[in-house]
Amino acid sequence: MTRYLDIYRTQLKTNIMLQLQYRAAMAIWLIDTVLQPLIYLVVWTTVARASGGQLVGFSGGDFASYYIILMVVNHLTFTWIMFVFEYNVRYGQFSFALLRALHPIHTDIAENLGYKVLSLAVILPAVVIMAVAFDAKWQPQLWAVLAFLPALALAFLTRFLLEWTLAQAAFWTTRVDAVNQVFFVAQLFFSGFIAPLALLPAPLRLVANALPLRWQLAFPVDLALGRLSWQQTLQGYAMQGLWLLATFALMRLVWRQGVRRYSAVGQ
Amino acid sequence: MSHLRLAWIYFRISILNEVAYRANFVVQLFQSLLSLGMAIGGLAIVFSHTETLGGWHPDELLALLGVYFLVGGAIGFVIQPSMQRLMEDVRQGTLDFVLMKPAGAQLLVSVRQVQVWKLVDALLGLGVLAVALSRLGGRVGVDQALAFALALAAGVAIVYSFWLALATVTFWFVRVDNILVVFQSMYEAGRWPITIYPSWLRYALTFLVPVAFATTIPAEALSGRLTPGALLGAVSLALVMLAASRWFWRRGISHYSGASA
C-alpha cells in the first residue's frame, strides 16, 4: 500500500509540473467543460420560466444549482483516456507503459488527478460566476454533503474503469471514433446531463436505471443537492459498489485479452 | 470564372483522393446520423415539457437544427481542413509551394484541403431543413426564402472570414490551433436559438465568435422574424469582414518568411 502511495505522490508531482507548461491550452479546454452544462442550464431555465417557474419539482434556481454541481462532478470525474489510448496504440507509444513494473492504469489515474487539481483554479471561479448569474438556490445539508464525498470518489473510480476499458477498443479496431461517439451519446442522455433524470420520459428512465452512467453523475449531484432520502442514498451506494466490482472485473478481462493483441506498430 | 474552375479542380482532386477510402463514408454516415438523432432526441425531451422555447416552435427549432448541420458540414468540409493545413504549412515553411503558384494565394489556401465525407452532415442538414419547411408549410413565402438565402450566404461568409483571420494570426504567433477549439465549442451553442442565452453570452456568440450569424439569423429569416434592418446588418457585416480578413491576410503574408522550407 505504501508502495502505491509513493508511486502516486511522485506521479502526481511530475504531472502537475508537466501540465503547468500548458496553462493557456488548459484554459481553452475548460471552455467546453463550462459551456456544455451552461447550454442545458439555459435551455431548462427557459422552459421552467415558460411553464410558470416550476417544472417537475425544479424551479429556475434549482436547475442552476443542479447544473453547477453537475459541471463540477462531471469535471472531476471525466477522462480523456479514449483519445490518448488510441494514439498510443497506433503509434506504438504504448510500449513504454508496458515496460514499467506497474499496471498502466495507475499512471493514467495520477495524470488525471494532477490535471483536476490544477484546473480547479478555473472551475471554481466559473462556479461562483454561474451561481450569481443564475441565482442558484442551494441549502446544503451537512449529512448530504458528507455523504456526497464517498459518492464522488466511487463515481470517479467507476467512470475511470469504464472509460479505460472502453479505450481498449483501440486494441481491436482503428475506428474508435465511432465507438466513442456511441458512448458519449449514451452518456449525455442517461447520466442526467441533457436533463435531470426526472424530466426524461419513463422508458428512458428505465434504461438509465440499468446503466452505470447515472450513478457516475446524476447520483452524486442529487445527493449534494439534498434531493435524496436516506434509503435512496444507500441504494445509490449499493449500485455504485456493484458497478465498481463489475467495471473492475471487466477492465481486467478486457486488458488481459487486449494487451496480447498489441503489436507495437510504428516502433 | 477561372477562380471557380480552379476551386473545382482542387475539390475534384481532393475528392478523388478521399473516395479511395470508402469505409470512411459508412463510419461518417453512422456518426452523422448518431449526432442528428441525439439532437432530435434532445429537442423531443425539451418539447415534451413545453410548447415553445423562448418563442420558438418545434418546427422552427428543427429548421435551426437543419441550418446548424448544413453550415457545420460546410465548415467541416472545406473551411476547417483548409485553414488547418494553412497553419501547418506556415509552421513548417511549406506555404512556399502555394505562393509560387500563378494564382491568388487566398483562393488556393481556402480550397486546398477537403474532407469530403463531411458533406454527409451538410446533406443531412438539407434533409432536416426540407422536413422543417414542409411542416412550416405556407408560412414560408418567397420573401422569407430570399431572406434566408441571403442570411445564409452572409453567415457562411462571416464564418469563413473569421477562420481566415484566425489562421492568419499564425504568421505572427506560430501556435494558435487551440483557438480553433474555442470555435468548435462555441459552435455547439448555435444548436439552440441564441435569443435564449443571457446577454453576455449572446454578445460573445454574436461578436466574439460569430456563431449567431451562421445559425440563428438564417433560421430567423426563414420563420419571418428577422427584421430587414437585421438582415441588412448581417450582409454589411459579411462584406466588411470579407474585406477586413483579406486585408489582414495580405499583411500576414507579407510577414511570412518561409521559416524552414
A22-58 residue pLDDT tens: 777 777 778 888 999 999 999 999 999 888 888 888 8
B106-134 residue pLDDT tens: 888 888 888 888 899 999 999 999 999 99
Q: Give bridge partners of residue A54 from the DSSP assignment.
A: A59
Residue A175, burial from CB neighbour count under 10 angstroms (0-12, 13-18, 19+): middle
Delimit the domains of chain A by residue range: 2-261
Cβ <8 Å between B35 and A24:
no
Residue B41, chain A, CB below 8 Å: the answer is: yes
Cβ <8 Å between A201 and B48:
yes
Span A234-243, mean pLDDT?
Answer: 95
Instruction: List helix spans (H) across A51-92.
Output: 60-77, 81-90
Residue A181, burial from CB neighbour count under 10 angstroms (0-12, 13-18, 19+): middle
d(CA B19, CA B7): 18
Span B149-174, mean pLDDT?
Answer: 91
Task: Give the mutation candidate from B21, B28, B31 for the A interface (greatest A CB count, under 10 A).
Answer: B31
Say if residue A1's pLDDT is above 90. Answer: no
Say if residue B261's pLDDT is above 50. Answer: no
Closest CA to A34 of A44, A22, A26, A46: A26
Say if residue B251's pLDDT is above 80. Answer: yes
Q: Which residues of A touch B169 (CB under 8 A)?
A: none
- Mean pLDDT score of chain A: 89
Residue A129, chain B, CB below 8 Å: the answer is: no
Residue A237, burial from CB neighbour count under 10 angstroms (0-12, 13-18, 19+): middle
Q: Which residues of A touch B185 (CB under 8 A)?
A: 31-32, 35
Span B151-168, mean pLDDT?
Answer: 94
Give B105 to chain A, closest Cα distance, Å. Answer: 30
Span B33-44, mean pLDDT?
Answer: 94
Residue with cell 413545453: B50
Residue A210, chain B, CB below 8 Å: the answer is: no
Residue A31, chain B, CB below 8 Å: the answer is: yes
Residue B185, chain A, CB below 8 Å: the answer is: yes
pLDDT band, very low/low/confident/very high, at A266 (cuts 50, 70, 90): low
Instruction: List helix spans (H) across chain A.
Output: 2-20, 23-50, 60-77, 81-90, 94-99, 104-133, 142-167, 176-190, 202-210, 213-216, 218-225, 230-261
Q: Which residues of B touch A32 (CB under 8 A)?
A: 181, 185
Cβ <8 Å between A181 and B31:
yes
Give A50 to chain B, closest Cα distance, Å. Answer: 7
Q: Which residues of A touch B31 (CB under 8 A)?
A: 177-178, 181
Number of residue pairs across A and B with CB atoms under 8 Å? 75
Cβ <8 Å between B197 and A42:
yes
A56-111 residue pLDDT tens: 888 888 999 999 999 999 999 999 998 888 888 888 888 888 888 888 898 899 88
Cβ <8 Å between A39 and B34:
no
- What percent of chain B has a predicted confidence (pLDDT) above 90? 50
Reported as type and span, the H/E element at residue B80 is helix B80-92
Give A84 to chain B, closest Cα distance, Å. Answer: 17
Say if residue B176's pLDDT is above 80. Answer: no
Residue A146, chain B, CB below 8 Å: the answer is: no
Among B91-100, B139-148, B244-253, top mean pLDDT goes to B244-253
